[in-house]
Amino acid sequence: MSGIDANDVVLGEVGIEADSALRAVLETRADVLAMTQATHDAALRPADPGGLTHGERAALAARIARLNREEGLAAHYETMLREASPAPETARLADPAFKGAAGTRLAALASYTDLASLSPKDAGAEDIQSLKDAGIDDADIVRLAELNAFLAFQIRLVAGLRLMKGRGR
Amino acid sequence: MNEPIHEFTTEVPHWRPRVKPIDLAHASAEQFDALKVTPSNTKVSDYVLVLANDVETLKVRTPLFNAIMYNRGGLSRAERELGAVAASIVNRCIYCAAVHSSRYNQLAKDETVMERIFADGVAARLDPRQSAILTFAAKLSQAPSRADESDMAALVEAGLDPSEVLDLILSAALFGWANRLMHTLGDPLPRDKEEA
């Protein structure tokens, strides 16, 4: 019985060949891969997005992928971003060079995301306060943190599996 | 005053959230379900009550976390904890490092590994297998990842089979996730002062 899903974002990004040794190992953790995909769906396209829209989530995910030089994943999130029909300003979040105007909601989303992606060790109470000051409520701060945290996981899983795949050649 | 802890420790701190935990008195049915709260079991940590603000993610994240850290086969429980600690050291998540270093000590029945890691960080001198695990997990935890072919080769040379390597990738990556929640959404405080 094959447990792993052909539409899985992580597996699609790594490129898992049929009958490969890596595929056989991944089958033993099919439950983990399925739950990873389920969390992707919950973090990117929740039924109740609260104050963090599907467009903002996809744009931030593309931004995080780019900050980690994962262009393949960035393209995946760009597709989700287009499907969300975002406001033009929201779509700009996908570009790490876009920082937003000081004091705005978009600037706060971008700033937290850059910090959490690249240097979470430097995050402090003031960084959460900056989100609150920009009008982002506590529940949306948690949603933003979960999105960033999930992406960190997914990106490392892809990076690790790619190294495993290289080893198997 | 309760000043946050900045040094690594195996004593699990108290965690003080920077955002509001949900109020169980006003929780939705979906939140109760994700929290696995029943009338006879209403003890839920502030951390989980904070995460319940994003209930759809929490609902799938909890079983995923348990599968990666506790499922059968593959890498030993202790070595998964070592992967978790490596990530937590890189990301300086004091709370996560405390929980998972103390679990490592319980499982491995050896406190010297964590003492060396807390003293010397990812450069700690360990046995070849522990060293390969620590180095790979720490480099995978950098942003962007700095783990490369030589780090993967070191795991294989140290005797890890593919199922063990996969579990190590999963545990280190999972703490890239957990650290970004624990360390950004709250502060670790000394437990005795908090309870005094």
Residues 16-35 of A with CB under 8 A from B: 21-22, 25-26, 28-29, 31-32, 35
Grade residue A117 by pLDDT with cuts at 50, 70 and 90: very high
pLDDT at position B196 is 42
How near does any CA of chain B get to the CA of A117, in Å?
Answer: 7
Rounded mean pLDDT, B71-78: 96
Give which of A151, A146, A168 is closest to A13, Cα–Cα.
A151
* Vertex A141 angle, CA A135 and A145, to 5°: 145
How near does any CA of chain B get to the CA of A114, in Å?
Answer: 11
Rounded mean pLDDT, A96-125: 97
Is B170:A157 a contact under the CB 8 Å cutoff? yes
pLDDT at position A7 is 79
Return d(Cα A101, Cα A29) in angstroms, integer: 44
Three-state SS string over B11-24 comes to CCCEEEECCCCCCH
pLDDT at position B40 is 66
Q: What SS3 state is found at B15?
A: strand
Q: What SS3 state is found at B43?
A: coil
Percent pLDDT > 70 in chain A is 98
Written as one letter, the residue type at B91 is N
Rounded mean pLDDT, A53-78: 98
- What residue segments make up the domains of chain A, in order of their start? 9-167
Written as one letter, the residue type at B102 is S
A5 touches chain B (CB under 8 A): no
Rounded mean pLDDT, B86-111: 97
Return d(Cα A76, Cα B188) in angstroms, integer: 36
Which pLDDT tens digit goes with each residue over A140-150? 999 999 999 99
Rounded mean pLDDT, A119-148: 98
φ, ψ at B171 (rounded to 5°): -70, -40
The pLDDT mean for chain B works out to 94
Grade residue A18 by pLDDT with cuts at 50, 70 and 90: confident
Written as one letter, the residue type at A28 is T
pLDDT at position B43 is 81
pLDDT at position A4 is 84
Percent pLDDT > 90 in chain B is 88
φ, ψ at B38 (rounded to 5°): -125, 165
- For B170, the closest of A32, A43, A47 (CB atoms) is A32
Q: Does the pLDDT at position B14 exceed 60?
A: yes
The pLDDT mean for chain A works out to 95
Q: Does the pLDDT at position B69 exceed 50?
A: yes
A3 touches chain B (CB under 8 A): no
Give which of B96, B115, B95 is closest to B105, Cα–Cα.
B115
Return d(Cα A56, Cα A89) in angstroms, integer: 10
Rounded mean pLDDT, A65-73: 97
Best interface-test mutation with A: which of B23, B56, B93 has the largest number of A CBs within 10 A?
B56
Structure tokens at B151: 């780090």
Q: What SS3 state is found at A84?
A: coil
pLDDT at position A19 is 87
Rounded mean pLDDT, B19-44: 85
Contact yes or no for A149 and B180 at CB 8 A = yes
Grade residue A5 by pLDDT with cuts at 50, 70 and 90: confident
- For B184, the closest of A47, A123, A143 (CB atoms) is A123
More confident residue, B43 or B117: B117
Q: Report all structural domains of chain B as residue ranges with CATH numbers, in order of start.
A: 14-69+186-195 (no CATH), 76-176 (1.20.1290.10)
CATH assignment, A9-167: 1.20.1290.10
pLDDT at position B1 is 56
pLDDT at position A78 is 98
Q: What is the pTM of this model?
A: 0.96
pLDDT at position A1 is 42
pLDDT at position B115 is 98
Which pLDDT tens digit goes with each residue over B141-151? 999 999 999 99
Contact yes or no for A127 and B174 at CB 8 A = no
ipTM metric: 0.96
